[in-house]
Structure 1
Amino acid sequence: MNHQLGHPSVVTALKEAIQSAEFQAITFRDYMEICLYSEPYGYYRNERTKIGKQGDFYTSSSIGSVMGEMVASFICKQLHNESPETEPVQIVEWGGGNGRMALHIMGEIKRTEPAIYARLTYTIIESSGYHRQQQRTLLEEHAQVIQFASETEWLAQPPQDQLYVLANELLDAFPIHRIRYKDLLFQESYVKWQEEGQTFQEIWRPISSQRLLDFLDRSKVQWLDGQIGEINLEAESWVSRVAERIQSGSCIIIDYGDTAEELFAPHRYNGTLMCYRKHQAQDDPFIHQGEQDMTSHVNFSSCQIAASQSGFTDCKLQTQREFLVEQGILQRLQNHYDPNPFSEVSKRNRSIRQLLLSDQMSELFKVFIASKHSLLNKKR
């Protein structure tokens, strides 16, 4: 048996899907979905720690509470500009991980804007039972404000005013179509099982999906021969579905990614797909199924198109650094020198600097905000 194969139950699910598929091969998109989301041992479904030192990667909420405070500050500013001070406020966090971002946002609103906190409902849409349990435990002090919902329940409700939807490092983990441009034609990646080598193998076939062909038709990017890239149709659909629920408010996406021109540029010849396991990054998705994270950079150009077509009137894409500075992070740096490196002040100043200065986080990470303004609520 191949020792690099992942969780036996995920491997079995993949082999079954491949055996029942036409050509005995499934699209890379379906392969990635099974690796990450199959029950109960897919990467995002199993009970292993994923975030932090014991896990596979860090998120911005692992670096202190500053990111959550800045998101809270953005939402409170919007509310002061736009809305009557009696209406209910909804924040919806999609895929809340271990709950730390929610803790930091609610803590900041409670501390600085008790009147807004008093009319706040914070909904977490979390499909993993393991993470939901972590969130309940961590967020006990906000139990009266918090609710949990499934995606289906939440999307079925009517549109609401003063609704803020937050996706922090969510879209990069949606299953993607892997595309290659070869001999003047676009092909799609499929995955088959090789019995003799006991391995999963990538093969390339002509694209059959009309949505993918339409996407490539629209895109103005020139590909090089042999170049590989990812198309995340799910991210576009997600933005459109969320838009239907927001009568006024914003959709806030924090993730690493870029515009289409950058993502399909020649220096991205092999695409942006990466796998993370125990803080080691590598680019082979055909090993450790269910035991490694798989992600690709978010195409913010396609999010922006989807947002504009879905009725969002203002769309803004910034680097994480620009967003943090605009929300007042520099005022939070405490200037007095503290000789104790473990004091709260020192720890906080360090986490602010890390969010602002570490090349990887501050420039690679973007904040995309799409907003709708309620005509009824505009303050005269």
Structure 2
Amino acid sequence: MNQEHSAERATPLTRIIDATLQRAGGWLPFDRFMALALYAPGLGYYANASRKFGQMPASGSDFVTAPELTPLFGRALAVQVAEALAKTGTDELWEFGAGSGALALQLLDALGDRVERYRIVDLSGTLRERQQQALARHVGKVEWLAELPETMRGVVVGNEVLDAMPVQLLARSGGAWFERGVVRRGEGFAWEDRPTELRPPVEVEGAHNYLTEIHPQAQAFIATLADRLKEGAAFFIDYGFPEAEYYHPQRHMGTVMCHRGHQADGDPLAEVGEKDITAHVDFTGVALAGQEAGLEVLGYTSQARFLLNAGILPMMEQASLAERTLAARLIHEHEMGELFKVIGFAAGEPWDALGFAEGDRSHTL
């Protein structure tokens, strides 16, 4: 099954993809293509020097995340982090994919002496430079790593990091399942489907054509984290669903989406390296990966309920009108409040974490 695609100008990144395609026999599964498009050293979207994070297109940015929207996000998250540090008896904070450094700054400012060391794991050298500038006044506490150490202790946070992990695409057509991959056709990249034994984790009802994703890399990441985190907790905030919603028969077009200039599009084969590529998170798969590797699920809920449990409303009451307006986007259902979810894990003895005190949806996973 072939699907044509528009012409794409040659760039150093597309030449690397072409060479990889040639070595692979002319066809790449989408997760390998996505990994190159996002993370190829110096050239992939998260490895190049483009602006990425910001509130408005005029800044040259592509999208806004909660910490860039308002510092109240980090202040509310810090309440949960402080409880987790106390409950686990640890004093280190870890962040994966720290972006502009905005969340790290908010957490460090809010937690003060409760954090002895703040460790950032980030693959992007250009983003690390931005983070170092943003965190200059905390320079004595912050350390950057390019990979996970063998052992970790402390509290882990990851905001919009799971959605940027490469996914495999599965397409059902005529009742048969195929893996969707990428080929070179003329001056552009194109889709090509190949028969596969891979399947979604649950059966998708119906006989209609269906496109979806599976998430082995995100699940492997959680399993590896579970193996390395000897004592502590972890909280991940991202957009996604439990598997019953993720693989709903009506969600037949998949969730892969691209972002550039604060505009969204569904074509990851165009403007490769110049825009973000994401997919929604299967939180059931994330929870199971953690549990099977020894973590305890502390809770799972919407971002709105998590932030309300953490006390964001009193913080908003003391903020300016402009700040309250921005913070409201974090909790309104039609904005980020419902689409974004939070899942928490404990490495060691679990407790009743305050972020999930009301509205816990763990039973839906």
TM-score under structure 1 length normalisation: 0.85
CA distance in 2, matches of 1:129, 1:301: 32
SS of equivalent to 1:45: coil
Match of 2:11 in 1: 8
Alignment deviations for residues 244-275 of structure 1 (CA, whole Å, 9 cap, x no partner): 12223211111001111111112211101111
CA distance in 2, matches of 1:329, 1:348: 12
Alpha-carbon distance, 1:201 to partner: 1.0
Match of 1:19 in 2: 22
1:185 aligns with 2:176: yes
CA distance in 2, matches of 1:4, 1:199: 4
Match of 1:72 in 2: 78
CA distance in 2, matches of 1:97, 1:372: 25
CA distance in 2, matches of 1:251, 1:135: 21
Match of 2:299 in 1: 316
Larger Rg: 1 or 2? Answer: 1
Alpha-carbon distance, 1:358 to partner: 5.6
Match of 1:285 in 2: 268
Match of 2:64 in 1: 58
Match of 1:274 in 2: 257
CA distance in 2, matches of 1:241, 1:333: 37
Alpha-carbon distance, 1:373 to partner: 3.0
CA distance in 1, matches of 2:9, 2:167: 20
Closer, same or farther in 2 for the Cα pair 1:223/1:188, shift >3 Å? farther
1:130 aligns with 2:126: yes
Query: What does 1:160-309 align with in structure 2 at a 5 Å threshold?
Result: 160=153, 163-195=154-186, 198-207=187-196, 212-213=198-199, 216=200, 218-222=201-205, 224-309=207-292
CA distance in 2, matches of 1:21, 1:80: 50
The letter of the residue matching 2:45 is: Y
The letter of the residue matching 1:20 is: R
Match of 1:155 in 2: 149
Gaps of 5+ in 1: 336-343, 376-380
The letter of the residue matching 1:155 is: P
Q: Is the 8 A contact 1:7 1:291 kept in 2?
A: no
Alpha-carbon distance, 1:329 to partner: 1.0
Alpha-carbon distance, 1:224 to partner: 4.2
Alpha-carbon distance, 1:223 to partner: 5.5
CA distance in 2, matches of 1:327, 1:320: 10
CA distance in 2, matches of 1:300, 1:250: 17
CA distance in 2, matches of 1:81, 1:236: 26
Deviating beyond 4 angstroms after TM superposition, the runs of 4 or more aligned structure 1 residues are: none
Alpha-carbon distance, 1:188 to partner: 0.1
Q: Is the 8 A contact 1:159 1:244 kept in 2?
A: no
Closer, same or farther in 2 for the Cα pair 1:50/1:358, shift >3 Å? farther
SS of equivalent to 2:63: coil
Q: Is the 8 A contact 1:4 1:288 kept in 2?
A: no
Alignment deviations for residues 342-362 of structure 1 (CA, whole Å, 9 cap, x no partner): xx6223222221211261311
Gaps of 5+ in 2: 351-365
Stretch deviating more after TM superposition (58-67 or 260-269) = 260-269
Alpha-carbon distance, 1:4 to partner: 5.6
SS of equivalent to 2:52: coil
The letter of the residue matching 1:272 is: T
Alpha-carbon distance, 1:183 to partner: 2.8
Match of 1:90 in 2: 92
CA distance in 2, matches of 1:362, 1:155: 33
Closer, same or farther in 2 for the Cα pair 1:255/1:4, shift >3 Å? farther
The letter of the residue matching 2:213 is: E
SS of equivalent to 1:5: coil
Alpha-carbon distance, 1:239 to partner: 0.5
Match of 2:44 in 1: 42
- Number of residue pairs aligned between Structure 1 and Structure 2: 342
More strand as a share of residues: 2
SS of equivalent to 1:268: coil
CA distance in 2, matches of 1:314, 1:31: 32
Alignment deviations for residues 214-248 of structure 1 (CA, whole Å, 9 cap, x no partner): xx3x4244364310001111110010111112223
CA distance in 2, matches of 1:315, 1:221: 29
CA distance in 1, matches of 2:223, 2:111: 28
How high is the sequence identity, in percent, across the aligned residues? 27
Alignment deviations for residues 189-217 of structure 1 (CA, whole Å, 9 cap, x no partner): 0111112xx12110110126xxx45xx3x
CA distance in 1, matches of 2:194, 2:216: 19
Alpha-carbon distance, 1:7 to partner: 6.2
The letter of the residue matching 2:185 is: Q
Q: Is the 8 A contact 1:307 1:315 kept in 2?
A: no
